[in-house]
Amino acid sequence: MWVAVGGANTTVGQPKLWYSKDPTANTWTAVTTPFTAANIVRLYDVAYSPKLKLFCAVGQDNTVSPGQVTIPFTSPDGINWTQQSAGIFIYSAPQVCIKWLPINQVFMMCGYGGTSTQGAESHYSSDGINWTSWSLAGSTTPYAASCVAEAPNGTIVFSCYQGTFANGIATPNGTGALTISSPSLSGNLTFSTIPSVSTTTINASAIYYSPTFNEFIINTNTASSWSIFSSADGTSFSQIYNLPVALTATWALYANNLDVCYAQQTAPSYTYPAYSISGGSWTSGASRPNFAMNRVAYGGGMFVGNNQNVTTTPVSGLYYSPDGYNASNWGPVASNVTAYGLCYSG
């Protein structure tokens, strides 16, 4: 089952969310069952736990100072949802992320603490209901956590960027990117700066663990180039791909024996993929104009992503691809699904 979340609704207790019981994601239905939500909520991301057989979605409470409070919701079926907290003090930065970490057996969400001095924040839960704060403060400069991943040995690594902070939004400002790593939920935190490429690294967007490379893969960009780094433990880095074009790194994942990272150009809108098959060298895939792929997931033999293009051709919505790395192969699935985060439960 596919679940996609995103956007704000003006109705209390009815965030925007869609589901598809079609493995190939061709048919989508909007959730109309009222949530048990006290306020208007904008959902940003969703994850699924095979262990718990549970979806968990996170978003911001729009009735509080913009982005100030993150709300978790759970669902056993992707249709009926329950709010599980009155509000967690973690700001919903533009790339707020939640993942299920199967080794540590927790949902992990990350963002930032809300001020320029609080730094990155994370919360985790073993059941989606009870949440524990994990403050990642410790760097000498303000930063936000944009994504999280874990290795088979349980090591957890957050990709982060330093920036400016106002009204609940963290924006990369060109002062640096870093990772925060820990051997476990109870381990000590290590802060490591990702090396610059041609200018100061300004963004570390997505991170995942690759079973083909046996390393973490980190998607980054500078003001003038897009780069991909690998790291065995989140503390030392090797540049494995660089494209000297001013792009914004967006998403990255491993699926179907494929490592793939995405970046986009905003004016005009383009999506650029870079990929590696079976651990081979990284290759540039075909780019696509008027296309802005921000999140991608895999399931049912298909890569499914959200095109958030601001122009009319092609229209915004969900698209699918059999390979995930040739942007020209993405075909429309549902133009009415203006999602941000999405996941597949199997």
Give the number of other CB atoms < 10 A from CB of residue 84.
Answer: 18
> Would you state the pLDDT for residue 86?
63
Does residue 216 surpass a pLDDT of 90? yes
Residue 182, H or E segment: strand 169-182
127-158 tens-digit pLDDT: 999 999 888 876 656 678 889 999 999 999 99
CA distance 144 to 346: 31
Helix-, strand-, coil-residue percentages of the chain, each rounded to 5:
0, 55, 45
Residue pointed to by tokens 């909520």: 41
Under a CB-based contact definition with an 8 Å cutoff, are residues 288 and 270 in contact? yes
Read off the pTM: 0.91
Alpha carbon distance 32, 17 (integer Å):
9
**Are 294 and 306 within 8 A, CB to CB?**
yes
Give yes or no for a contact between 6 and 338, defined as CB atoms under 8 angstroms apart: yes
Quickly state the pLDDT bin for 234 (edges 50, 70, 90): very high
104: its two tokens? 């540590």
Rounded to an integer, the average pLDDT of 112-141 is 78
Buried b (16+ CB within 10 A) or exposed e, 104-120: bebbbbbbbbbebebbb
Tally of CA atoms within 13 A in the half-sphere of 27 that contains its CB: 2
- Residue of higher predicted confidence among 256 and 315: 256
Distance of alpha carbon 28 from the chain centroid: 21
Q: Which of 2-11, 131-140, 220-229 has the highest mean pLDDT?
A: 220-229
Task: Dump pLDDT digits (tens) for 53-67.
Answer: 999 998 877 666 555
Residue-wise pLDDT for 296-331, tens only, equals 999 999 999 887 654 544 556 888 898 998 877 888
Identify whether the C-beta of residue 57 lies closer than 8 Å to the C-beta of residue 43: yes
Distance, CA of 260 to CA of 56 (rounded, Å): 25
Rounded-to-integer distance, Cα 18 and Cα 46, Å? 11
The residue ranking higher by pLDDT, 333 or 164, is 333
CA distance 295 to 313: 19
* Mean of all residue pLDDT scores within the chain: 83
Q: Has residue 93 got a pLDDT over 50? A: no
Query: What distance in Å separates the CA atoms of residue 295 and residue 207, rounded to the nearest whole number?
Result: 12
The C-alpha angle 177, 289, 224, rounded to 5 degrees, equals 30
Q: Rounded to an integer, what distance in angstroms lies between the CA atom of residue 205 and that of residue 171?
A: 12
Residue with tokens 């109870």: 186
DSSP for residue 164: E
d(CA 279, CA 212): 5
Q: What whole-number distance in Å separates Cα of residue 147 and Cα of residue 110?
A: 7
3-state SS assignment for residue 329? helix
| Cα–Cα distance measured from residue 336 to residue 321, given in angstroms and rounded to the nearest whole number | 18
Domains of the chain from N-terminus onward: 88-330 (2.120.10.30)
Which tokens belong to 77? 């079926």
pLDDT one-digit tens code per residue, 242-253: 999 888 898 999
Number of CB atoms found within 10 A of residue 95's CB: 26
Q: What percentage of the chain has pLDDT greater than the value 70?
A: 78
